[in-house]
Amino acid sequence: MWDKAFDQAVRRIIKTGTLEVTMPDGQVNRYGDGTGTPVRVALRDRSLPKRIVQSPDLGVGEGYTDGDLVIENDDLHGFMDLAVRNTARRDFVWWQTAANHSRTALRRLAQWNPVGKAQSNVAHHYDLSGELYDLFLDIDKQYSCAYFTRPDMTLEEAQEAKKAHIAGKLLIEPGMRVLDIGCGWGGMALTLARDYGAHVLGVTLSQEQHKVAVQRAKEAGLQDRVEFRLVDYRNVTETFDRIVSVGMFEHVGAPHFREYFRHVHDKLKPEGIALIHTIGRGGPPGATSPWIANYIFPGGYIPALSEMMAAVEKENLASTDVEIWRLHYAETIRHWYDRFMSNIDRAREIYDERFCRMWRYYLIACEMTFRHAQQVVYQVQLAHDKAAVPLTRDYLYRDDTRDGAEDKVPDRARDRMAHAAE
C-alpha cells in the first residue's frame, strides 16, 4: 500500500529532470522527463516510503540523516536541487495538501514562544559548541545573509558590506543609542560602536553567544560603548535612537508578530529609525518544515511579507523602505557549506557522523530553497515619522563605485579584512 502511495506522490511531484529510486524490496522506479544527469537514490528502511508519504520533509530529512536514504556518490546537492526545483511548483497529491493546510492551521500552537520557551528554543541551536560555528562562519561570526555587491567577493567582504548597508539605512551618528535585538556573537553591535561611534545594547537569549560577545567587547576595548545582556528583548525598558535586528525575527513566531513590533514601537524614540532584517517567504503565509522545526529551529517560522507588514501597520509604525534580497542568501550558504566541508573532520570530532549528515542536509536544503523556491530576505526600515529618512535611496549609494562595495565599507572594516587575509 505505502509503496504504491509513495510512487503516486513522487510521480506527481517530479516532472523535470530524472530521479531513480530503488525501493526497499529492490524494485527500481524512474521519475521525471528523462532530462539531465539521473539522480539515483536507494531506500534502505522498509518504513521509509510510508514516512515520506506522511511527511515528505520529515521523512526525507530523517532518512538522509540516519543513512536510510542513500544517494549515489552522496550527491546531496544534485538530489536537493532536483527535489526543490520540482516541489517549488507545489503540485502535491491531495493528502499532502491537506497535511500542509493542517500544519498552517496549527502553527500558532507550534510557534507559541513566551519568554521561557523562547530561551529553550534558542538554546537548541545557538548553544551548540562555539567551535562548530567557527568551522564555517566568517571571522566576525555573522550567522545571517551576506550582501554580495560583486560575485567574486569573499565571505568576509560580503558580510562587511551587509553591515555597512544596514548601518547606512540606520543613518547612524556618533553618540546614538542603539538596541540590537538578537545580537548573536556581537558582530553588528561591535561594528556600530567601533566604526560609527554608537553606544549599543545587544540582547540575546543564547548563553554561548552572550559569553563570546562579552569577551569580544572586552578584547576590543569597547566595554564603555557596548553592553551585552542575556535577556529577552521584551524585558528591555530603555528607549533608543535606533533599533536593529538581523536574523532574529525568524524566531519570533506568528502569534508574537504584533507583540514584537509593539516593543519596537515603544522602545524607539519619536525621531528614531529601526531596521529589521529577516528571511521571508515570497508567497502567502504557510508553515515551518517539520524537519527544520524538529531538528534545527524549534519554534521558528519564516514570515510572509503580508503578515509581517500587517503587524507593523497595527502597531502604528511607518514603513519607510522595504528591500528584497533574492539570491544573496544562497551564495552565503554555499560559502558556509564549502567551509564546513573543509573542516568536516573536526566537526565529526566535536559531534559525530550523524550530526554532520544532518548539518549538510540543513545547509544544502536551505541553499536550494533560496535558489529555486520563493524564499528571500526582507529588510524593512521603520520609523514613527515617515520623514525620518531621506526621500530617496540615494543616500545609501552616493559613495558607491561601479566596481563594487569597497566604498560602502568603512576604512577600519577594510583594514580588518586586509589584516585577516594576511
Is 366 known to be catalytic?
yes
C-alpha cell at 187: 558582530
Residue 333 burial class via C-beta count within 10 angstroms: exposed 0-12, middle 13-18, buried 19 and up: buried
For residue 340, the Cα-to-chain-centroid distance in whole angstroms is 17
| DSSP-derived 3-state class of residue 318 | strand
Q: Which of these, 23, 9, 22, 7, lies nearest to 86 by C-alpha position?
A: 9
Helices 353-372 and 328-342, packing angle to 10 deg = 160
Whether the Cβ atoms of residue 59 and residue 2 lie closer than 8 Å to each other: no
| Contact present, 280 and 308 (Cβ < 8 Å) | yes
Long-range contacts of 95-99 (CB under 8 A, 24+ apart): 95/53, 96/9, 96/56, 99/54, 99/55
3-state SS assignment for residue 384: coil
Considering only CA atoms, which of 328, 326, 379, 123 is closest in space to residue 232?
Answer: 123
Helical H segments across 268-352, by residue range = 290-295, 305-314, 328-342, 344-350
Neighbours of 245 (CB within 10 A): 23
Please give the single-letter amino acid code of residue 298. P
Complete DSSP assignment for 84-135:
HHHHTT----HHHHHHHHHHHHTHHHHT---HHHHHHHHHHHHTS-HHHHHT
**Residue type (1 letter), 240:** F
Full strand arrangement of the beta sheet holding 240-246: 226-230, 199-204, 177-181, 240-246, 268-281, 375-383, 318-325
Catalytic one of 145, 183, 356, 366: 366
> Three cell numbers at 143?
550567522
Instruction: Provide Rg for the chain, Cα atoms.
Output: 22
Q: Quickly tell me which residue has 528554543 as its cell.
A: 121
Catalytic residues: 366
